[in-house]
Structure 1
Amino acid sequence: MPTPTRPTSRKPLVFGLVVVLAAGGLGFVSYRATAPDGSGSGTSVVETTAEPDADTYAELAGLARRDPGDKLALGRADAPVVLIEYADFTCGYCGTFARETEPELIEKYVDDGTLRIEWRNFPIFGKESEAAARASWAAGQQDRFWAFHRAAYAEGGKGKGFGADRLRALARQAGVKDLDRFVRDTDGAAAAEAVAEDQEQAYGIGATSTPSFLINGRPVAGAQPTAVFTRAIEAAAADAANVGSAGDPAE
């Protein structure tokens, strides 16, 4: 039998070796947030490594879909900076990012056209993770993904679980109008395929924990302080401003 198609470049090395752009010129550090084996403690482990080369970053940046019809994305399709977020609705650190950092990034950078956020479902904690991921996609088919996202990541929500009744309640809270369609879509093949595609992309770059991010191809892992994201976004925006459409320095 043929093996599943995975990226064949150096991309899988990136999250395995270096995953956070550190402040103050310290280079890169690895940061383990949550992982399927439960080893994530939420604390950082500093590990100096060599920086990946420009070709690797360019390949990673190319994972941005920039689809104007993407129901699991926020911001202009042609925004100069794309943040790809690989996350799990049952992940506590993903919830921290969603409540404490993401709203600031949306207000500061998405609203002014600088940043686009593209969500990737990366369920790694079992059946409820998978079910929540499919349900989020189903909510998105009725243009309620981000409302579902807010409801699912609300403070204390993780402890309520993500069983079928809970997912339906979240959909209702998110303003999903056709709940019967929501249930059908959650259980349908299209949702499973969409989630599997996102998972494959995450595993293909070597991501093993949630949340993990790419900012114009630069990896960041874990619910880092907001300042880490703002520095990375502003650096990416500055780089984009200095590159012409043909890859030459802008006039």
Structure 2
Amino acid sequence: MTMLLSLLAALTLAQAGAETAPPPGQTDLVTLGEADAPVIVHAYMSPTCPHCADFYRDALPLIEKDLIEPGKMQLIIRGLPSQPVGMSVAGMMVIECAPDSRAAADRIFNQQHEWIEQAKAGDPKPFLEETAAEAGLSAEETEICMTDQALAESLYNGGGAAADAYGFTGVPSFLVNGEPVGGDKLTTIDDWRAVVEAASDE
């Protein structure tokens, strides 16, 4: 079974069991900052979401400089699939499997347009294979990762469970010290500073 057929099979199993399976735990894909920061933010994102790519490319560098590096907050990226779901989950799988998860996430989000165009041309797989290689996975390890049905199910179901639990209606969405905050409330660095300051005072 090829990489993409295996992934599609995994997602079919995940969808079939979603109503009866217990809510799965969430998978931390990338963690930035220290665990003892006063504010912990979980960012729910999809590798195929244009708004997520905008956040990652434009806002995240400012957040890192102003809030994460000074120790004011920790940011943990988790997956919440969006269309096309197969590609979205595949991107999450590469980030999760890669020894350098940050490098994988950087390439997937910062070069999302290139990946989408490649997919439109007929095959999204080469971009993911190149990403996996740059992030420390061998070709064999990449194949094992991308045909791991249990991992695909976990990431797919985990994102759905988060959306149900926190009422997320889109991505990116955030939890700030466990409280849901929609991405539309965090559009500028000033928004982030204000939210983090308020959460620090609680």
Same fold judged by TM-score > 0.5?
yes
**Secondary structure of residue in 2 paired with 1:118:** strand
Aligned length in residues? 176
Q: What TM-score do the two structures reach when normalised by structure 1?
A: 0.62
Greater RCO, CA 8 A, separation 6+: 2
- Asked if residue 191 in structure 1 is aligned to residue 157 in structure 2, the reply is no
Q: Structure 2 vs 1, CA of residues 213 and 71 (structure 1 numbering), >3 Å: closer, same or farther?
A: closer
Residue 33 of structure 1: aligned partner: none
Q: CA deviation at 1:71?
A: 5.6
Superposed displacement of residue 232, structure 1: 0.7
Q: Which residue of 1 aligns with 2:51?
A: 93
Q: Which runs of 5+ in 2 are unaligned?
A: 1-16
Deviates more, 1:214-223 or 1:98-107: 214-223
Structure having the larger proportion of residues in helix: 2
Q: Name the structure 2 match of 1:226.
A: 189
Once the two structures are superposed, the pairs formed by residues 158-169 of structure 1 within 5 Å of their partners are: 158-161=116-119, 163-169=124-130
Q: What whole-Å deviation, never above 9, does each CA across 1:41-61 have from its counterpart, x for those lacking one?
A: xxxxxxxxxxxxxxxxxxxxx
Per the TM alignment, residue 96 of structure 1 is displaced from its structure 2 partner at its CA by 0.4
Aligned equivalents of 1:95 and 1:123: distance in 2?
Answer: 14
In 2, Cα distance between the equivalents of 1:184 and 1:87?
A: 24
AA matched with 2:194: R
The percentage of aligned residue pairs carrying the same residue is 23
Q: CA deviation at 1:177?
A: 4.1
For the pair shown, the structure with the greater C-alpha radius of gyration is 1
Structure 1 stretches lacking a partner, 5+ long: 8-62, 240-251
Letter in 1 for 2:144: R
How high is the TM-score relative to the length of structure 2? 0.75
- In the alignment, which of 143, 158, 172 is matched to residue 211 of structure 1? 172
